[in-house]
């Protein structure tokens, strides 16, 4: 996102706890800040602070922590919340910001690093119309797929959790289908070729299972992320009095996989299911297909 904005001519001040990310941001053309507060101090009168972290706790630390942006935010500033968190956490942060005269755009994103870099990721936007209109140029620079969800902050978070629950279900289903194909003695690459051109195809299934078959588990999307997101989606479902047949099972698979392979990409689900009781062990002859 930093590289995309710098390339488009925006002035960007970046703050990250990872020194390598800071170096990358600087190489892309961004100015650097040591703390979120310093980053907020650099905002122009109608500037936007983009919070792009993993969890609600990290969001609160960025905004409200000892070196958080809160102390430097002023009326006219806007905070854009991109993490996948619960609607209640989004609403609570937005309420704190509004009390200080700071706008809030609920803006979960989807698409991964490559699509963020080329500006084709999806943004699910929930905020008052006037606030979105004021920052339309920035949002357009970040995303060619902007979905106006509603004016109610929190609805972006709700939409993202619905999406990610389905993504989790699809990914577990794809891994289960290939694990079954393995048990049946089928070639997994050929099986996936068929699935990709047939009714069983899903984008996340193809993306992750291709990596799994290449034994490429370098984390683009840590398995812990969908473990977190499916759990959040189930919590929202319970609050709404809804209990579906698949979400809990998918969340359990992610929870178990994350406990075993927390530092792996979520493509690790195929290995997890292939090694489930009764499945082919790592020394099985069919392992060479993967």
The answer to whether residue 160 is catalytic is yes
What DSSP designation does 72 have?
G
The H or E element containing residue 147 is strand 145-150
Measured CA angle at 161 (ends 155, 166), to 5 deg: 135
User: How many whole angstroms separate alpha carbon 2 and alpha carbon 76?
Assistant: 22
Cβ(87)–Cβ(124) below 8 Å: no
Give me the catalytic one of 160, 222, 271, 272: 160
How many residues are there in the chain? Answer: 290
Pairing of strands 145-150, 122-126: parallel
For residues 13 and 36, the answer to whether their CB atoms sit within 8 Å is no
Question: Locate tokens 């979400």: which residue?
Answer: 247
Q: Please identify every residue annotated as catalytic.
A: 160
């Amino acid at each position: 996102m930093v590289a995309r904005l710098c390339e488009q001519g925006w002035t960007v001040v970046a703050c990250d706890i990872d020194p390598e990310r800071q170096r990358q941001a600087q190489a892309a053309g961004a100015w650097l800040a040591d703390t979120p507060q310093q980053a907020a101090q650099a905002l122009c009168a109608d500037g936007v602070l983009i919070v792009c972290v993993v969890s609600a706790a990290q969001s609160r630390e960025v905004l409200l922590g000892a070196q958080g942006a809160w102390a430097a935010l002023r009326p006219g500033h806007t905070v854009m919340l991109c993490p996948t968190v619960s609607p209640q956490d989004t609403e609570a942060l937005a309420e704190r910001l509004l009390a200080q005269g700071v706008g809030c755009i609920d803006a979960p994103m989807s698409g991964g690093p490559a699509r963020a870099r080329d500006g084709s990721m999806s943004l699910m936007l929930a905020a008052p119309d006037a606030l979105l209109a004021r920052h339309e140029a920035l949002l357009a620079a970040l995303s060619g797929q902007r979905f106006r969800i509603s004016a109610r902050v929190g609805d972006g978070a709700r939409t993202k959790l619905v999406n990610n629950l389905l993504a989790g279900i699809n990914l577990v289903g794809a891994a289960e289908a290939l694990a079954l194909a393995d048990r049946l003695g089928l070639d997994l690459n050929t099986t996936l070729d068929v699935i990709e051109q047939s009714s069983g195809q899903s984008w996340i299934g193809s993306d992750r299972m291709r990596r799994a078959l290449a034994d490429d588990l370098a984390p683009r999307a840590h398995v812990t992320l969908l473990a977190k997101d499916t759990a959040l989606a189930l919590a929202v479902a319970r609050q709404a009095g809804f209990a579906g047949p698949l979400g809990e099972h998918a969340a359990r698979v992610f929870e178990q996989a994350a406990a075993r392979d927390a530092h792996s990409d979520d493509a690790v689900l195929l290995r997890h299911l292939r090694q489930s009781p009764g499945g082919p062990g790592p020394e099985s002859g069919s392992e060479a297909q993967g």
